[in-house]
Amino acid sequence: MNTLYPIFLKTENFNILIVGGGFVGTEKLSFILKNSPNANITVVAKLISDEIKSMVKGQSSIVLLEKSFEASDLENKQLVIAATADKTLNESIYHAAKVKSILINVADTPELCDFYLGSIVTKGDLKIAISTNGKSPTLSKRIREFFEEMLPENINDLILNLNEYRKTLKGNFEEKVSALNEITKSFNKKS
């Protein structure tokens, strides 16, 4: 049973640390920046890939530190992703983060994760997060691809129109929800 609680973070309000500058670190950084281009991220690694360096060129919210990880790198961080190829190092990052009550994701090690980076579908203001509870990222990816293909490109127009309608509604919260439910109930009817 998947007991995860999905949330959407305003990453520009957090300080994120990614430890690892190779393939996995590149993948995690790319994933975050695709969804949150203004995220505040520090990448720490002995070697940082050229791909990461070119990816963050000119982005003032990204800091690259080409050095070994030290526990002091966790200062003022709220989220950590351990993405090194060294399992022992990843475990020590995990333990150091837990001591400081910092949320951590250790790549490819679900038992050492406070959160997972699921697959995300984005169409304008619509964002759908998909999780398999860390068990099958490949299936999450395929479901993401399905939704990206199935959702109409103009879905954002619908969102904006509903937002404008919502602003015109009078009454208490319950009455507004009822009015919006009435206008949107046809969306899940099969034709």
Helix, strand counts (H, E) of the chain: 6, 7
Q: Which fold has domain 11-117?
A: Rossmann fold (3.40.50)
Known catalytic residue: 108?
A: yes
- Give, in degrees to the nearest 5, the angle at Cα 55 between 52 and 58: 120
Residue ranges per domain, the chain? 11-117, 118-151, 158-188
Q: Which fold has domain 118-151?
A: Double Stranded RNA Binding Domain (3.30.160)
Write the pLDDT tens digit of every residue in 91-149: 999 999 999 999 999 998 989 999 988 889 999 999 999 988 878 888 999 999 999 99
Write the pLDDT tens digit of every residue in 62-76: 999 999 999 999 999
Please tell me which residue in 86, 108, 125, 157 is annotated as part of the active site.
108
DSSP single-letter state for residue 69:
-
Bridge partners of residue 151, in order along the sequence: none
